Amino acid sequence: MWYTCYQQVTEGSNVNKLQHNYLEINGIKMHYVTAGQGPLVLFLHGFPEFWYSWRHQLAALADQFTVVAPDQRGYHQTDKPSWGYEIDVLVADVVALIEALGHQQALLVGHDWGGAVAWATAMNYPHRVRRLAILNTPHPVAFAKELRTNRQQQQRSLYMGLFSLPFLPELLLKAGDYALIDLALTSATRPDAFSEDDLDAYKDALSVPGALTAALNWYRAAARGGMQGLTGGKVRRCEVPTCLIWGEDDPYLGVELIEATRPYVTDLMVHRLPGAGHWVQQEAPEEVNRLLGQFFT
């Protein structure tokens, strides 16, 4: 199955030069894929994904940029320590990766948990982030406030509390050959967004020994950390030019979080994509690729 996934993602004219590499950074061995030449575009995936969630963007942007998509700490082919899933450590991973790749700055793209890490990186290390593109992830302070006051968002986010528990979420998510993962992805607004091979790729990645627990440890660390567990520090405002792309039919994050985000970003551009949901870069790849290309050039 790994070969099938690799073959699919390398069908594009530029991504046939996709390289799989490893770097020792911040105490772990991190796996990443890369292609193209030019300014660095760094893609950060969310849960329950890995670098493969950016397959469409890697193909589209490798014409003009050096595109890099890591497996973040604990995921897939990257090390899975029992420690270090706090947001400040995850941010330090990103900064160390930028430096290890030989760059001073990156055009940073994040989705879901990768979006949370991208927000925190831009807020705490603005000199490392030239521009910030966020997909279906609210500003962390806005999200924390909505979790306190927005009953609908509280209901949408109940799974986060479940994922913070010990042992139980692993049992639930593994049941029926990762049936809940299948359900989460196949309930996408655009049913053709994920092929059977795509679904198998995600399940294979979570089946790597220790990967599922490591991925869930992100939720557990955030639950312990409170507000700082979301922002990675005391900075609350993002000064980096930001493009927020939002699939309107997200069952996990309501569109009201867009407006809740605005007060915390100095320079914000918003693009709402009707007919797309939480997995927006995979449900609406052409639209997302076009918006990223415009924002980064």
Query: Binning pLDDT at 50, 70 and 90, where does residue 188 land?
Result: confident
Domain at 2-296, CATH from 3.30.365.10, 3.10.590.10, 2.30.30.100, 3.40.50.1820: 3.40.50.1820
Mean pLDDT score, 199-210: 98
CA distance linking residue 204 with residue 217, whole number of Å? 19
Q: With contact defined as beta carbons under 8 Å apart, do 108 and 133 qualify?
A: yes
Q: With contact defined as beta carbons under 8 Å apart, do 244 and 253 qualify?
A: no
Lowest mean pLDDT among 4-8, 47-51, 104-108: 4-8
Asked whether residue 12 carries a pLDDT value surpassing 50, the answer given is: no
- The pLDDT assigned to 25 comes to 98
Q: Kindly report the pTM of this predicted structure.
A: 0.95
Does 278 participate in catalysis according to the annotation? yes
Asked whether residue 36 carries a pLDDT value surpassing 60, the answer given is: yes
Mean pLDDT score, 238-244: 98
Report the mean per-residue pLDDT for the chain. Answer: 93
- The pLDDT assigned to 15 comes to 47
CA distance linking residue 63 with residue 67, whole number of Å? 9
Does 178 participate in catalysis according to the annotation? no
Asked whether residue 260 carries a pLDDT value surpassing 70, the answer given is: yes
What share of the chain in percent tops pLDDT 90?
Answer: 88
Count of C-beta atoms within a 10 Å radius of residue 283: 22
Catalytic residue among 125, 219, 250, 264: 219
Catalytic residue among 112, 198, 200, 204: 112
Catalytic residue among 45, 76, 139, 278: 278
CA distance linking residue 57 with residue 65, whole number of Å? 11
Mean pLDDT score, 143-147: 94
Handedness of CA 36, 39, 40, 41 (dihedral sign): negative
Tens digits of residue pLDDT in 147-157: 999 999 999 99
- The ranges assigned to domains in the chain are 2-296
Does 112 participate in catalysis according to the annotation? yes
Query: Binning pLDDT at 50, 70 and 90, where does residue 10 land?
Result: very low
Tens digits of residue pLDDT in 79-131: 999 999 999 999 999 999 999 999 999 999 999 999 999 999 999 999 999 99
The separation between CA 241 and the C-alpha centre of its own chain, rounded to angstroms, equals 19
